[in-house]
A and B are shown apart, each in its own frame.
Chain A
Amino acid sequence: QSALTQPASVSGSPGQSITISCTGSSSDVGGYNYVSWYQQHPGKAPKLIIFDVSQRPSGISYRFSGSKSGNTASLTISGLQAEDEADYHCCSYADITTLFGGGTRLTVL
């Protein structure tokens, strides 16, 4: 199975909202409500920010939200802050395996 498809980069100004897409297939993203998102700052380990498509772990800002339509999941970050500049990875359960996207670099202008 192929990796999930994410845009290589997105950017936005402080205070704005951005959305990162994650496209898979009916065998992964579209077939299960098991999409998660991870934030990764340079040189650091990934950090869970969204699970089960739209659930936020304790301690994660309400500015982060997730959704899904068909085979595409999305991560929206509202009220952009400088500290949001990082790489974002989507992930989907796919029965016998687990797939990740290629990652999206978010630049806060």
Chain B
Amino acid sequence: QLQLQESGPGLVKPSETLSLTCTVSGGSIISSSYFWVWIRQPPGKGLEWIATISYSGTPYYNPSLKGRVTISVDTSKNQFSLSLTSVTAADTAVYYCARYSYKPTNWFDPWGQGSLVTVSS
């Protein structure tokens, strides 16, 4: 079945750029039915949607993070990536990637296992 796996540094210094990659296995990232997303969860807090991308590369961003976030896709590697610039301690979180169905049904499934990123000097 479809599986997603996040990868990237677990520690990022303040003001630097956080970069994560999600590798999709068990299926193709090229699909007109689904999109691909990043969602994060600060320690002990709720979930926050960060960004969405289609296989063709059309991005959608959370307005609260727009300007610092870039999402991209590499169909040749069956991967999509997240870049978050000028990070602060508030960006410390577990970052999840997931598949997204927009219409006619709306859901996130499956999710990757999550990647903890700590922002600290």
Q: Which residues of A contact B (CB under 8 A)?
A: 3, 32, 34, 36, 38, 44-48, 51-52, 55, 57, 89, 91, 93, 96-103
Residues 60-72 of B, flagged 1 when their CB comes within 8 A of A and 0 if not, give: 1011000000000
B74 within 8 A of A: no
**What 20 additional pairs, Cβ within 8 angstroms, besides A100-B46, A103-B45?**
A32-B106, A38-B108, A45-B112, A46-B96, A48-B109, A48-B110, A51-B107, A52-B105, A55-B105, A89-B46, A91-B47, A91-B108, A96-B63, A97-B49, A99-B49, A100-B39, A100-B49, A101-B46, A102-B45, A103-B46
Q: Chain A: which residue is nearest B100 at the CB level?
A: A98
A28 to B45, CA, bound (A): 21
Using Cβ atoms and an 8 Å threshold, which residues of chain B touch A44?
A: 113
Decide if A45 touches B96 in the complex (CB within 8 Å).
yes
A5 to B60, CA, bound (A): 24
B111 within 8 A of A: yes
Q: How many residues of chain B get a CB closer than 8 Å to chain A's CBs?
A: 22
Q: Which residues of B contact A (CB under 8 A)?
A: 39, 45-49, 52, 60, 62-63, 96, 102, 105-114
Q: Chain B: which residue is nearest A1 at the CB level?
A: B63
Decide if A97 touches B63 in the complex (CB within 8 Å).
yes
